[in-house]
Structure 1
């Protein structure tokens, strides 16, 4: 049985591949053949994730979608989570969560035991997805409260903007120069960044060149 490993981290300075070795060992232990490893740095609140979409497009019915934990797969809104679940089900994939032991039986059991475990798993995964979403909401609420309190104490204070990732900019600029006809989506995939970042760097580079002229 083929397994497709999905790895995700939210921040650019976090290692999305942190759990790669452990999940590969897990797959080997369960007798699974690793068909692909998909890693990306992107928020779990976003449904449109390039690597996840590639996995869903590549995987075949009966394959395993293997993740470390539910929150690596989803911190989505209920509507987006429902969409993702429907896509996984429509593809006929078996969702196996490494830190959810009850899901491990889905690797082999296809009879009545497998059906019962599938029902139990769906309930547990739904609960864990809800907890991940609530945790994300609480985190955002705390950040917003902190900003509001800071502004009350210092009315003239403004949040600092995100600093530029020099290495990322250099990578995208290099790809733009090497592949002038390549579309932004492909460059974003190669540079492991968002499409919006590619367009922003493209505009900044073009403006800089015009100014130098």
Structure 2
């Protein structure tokens, strides 16, 4: 069984690699290692995620996927979640999630008793469904609150759109452009993705060369 790490963040301003060391240490403590990483900045509410689909394509029968939380794998609606589960089932892929203790049974010796094995799988699948539903509701609630907040601000004439984090952008500029740190080191120090470092540093360097 190969174990593949899947890491996801919703936006380019978020660091998708944040939990990488946590997953690596967890697997190492179980006496195993992670064979490969699939990392992306995509919404969990969509099944059209290039790295997730690539993982599903690369994995062989009986392999495992490890994630930090179920919401990293899914904030999908019911139909899309069912489709993803079918894709996992087709290759008999195990999903190991740090927030789902019943999924950690994948590291245990194979259970030979058919009834016990079936019961554990049923409980684990039920818990996965529950956590996926909670993740979806959390996503919908946040979207609703955001829309309500924007609507209220518009009515009061206060909505100015999303403002960039100027302090964060300045820190990225200072580290990357002025102090010549590498892209990866700057990303780690500011807790953003490599793509965000490149975008912000390039924009501010360009803007300030014109001034």
Q: Secondary structure at the match of 1:76?
A: coil
Match of 2:161 among 159, 162, 171: 159
Unaligned runs of 5+ in 1: 168-190, 194-213
The total of aligned residue pairs comes to 167
Gaps of 5+ in 2: 173-193, 197-211
- How far is 1:192 from its partner? 6.6
CA RMSD of aligned residues (A): 2.4
**Greater RCO, 1 or 2 (C-alpha within 8 Å, sep 6+):** 2
Give the structure-1-normalised TM-score. Answer: 0.71
Change (3 A) 1:42 1:119: same
- Deviation track 1:132-156 (CA, whole Å, cap 9, x = no partner) reads 000000000001101111122129x
Q: Is the CA contact (8 Å cut-off) linking 2:24 and 2:33 kept in structure 1?
A: no
Task: Name the CA shift for 1:71/1:160 in 2 (closer, same or farther; >3 Å).
Answer: closer
1:82 aligns with 2:57: no
2:175 pairs with 1:135: no
Q: How does 1:167-186 map to 2 (within 5 A)?
A: none
Provide, for residues 85-125 of structure 1, a one-character-per-residue CA deviation record: whole Å limited to 9, x for no partner. 11011111011111211111123334333322111000111
| Alignment-derived partner of residue 72 in structure 1 | 72
Residue equivalent to 1:174: none
Partners of 1:50 and 1:162 lie apart in 2 by 27
1:92 maps to 92
Q: Is the Cα contact below 8 Å between 1:75 and 1:132 reproduced in 2? A: yes
Bigger shift: residues 25-34 or 6-15: 25-34
What TM-score do the two structures reach when normalised by structure 2? 0.72
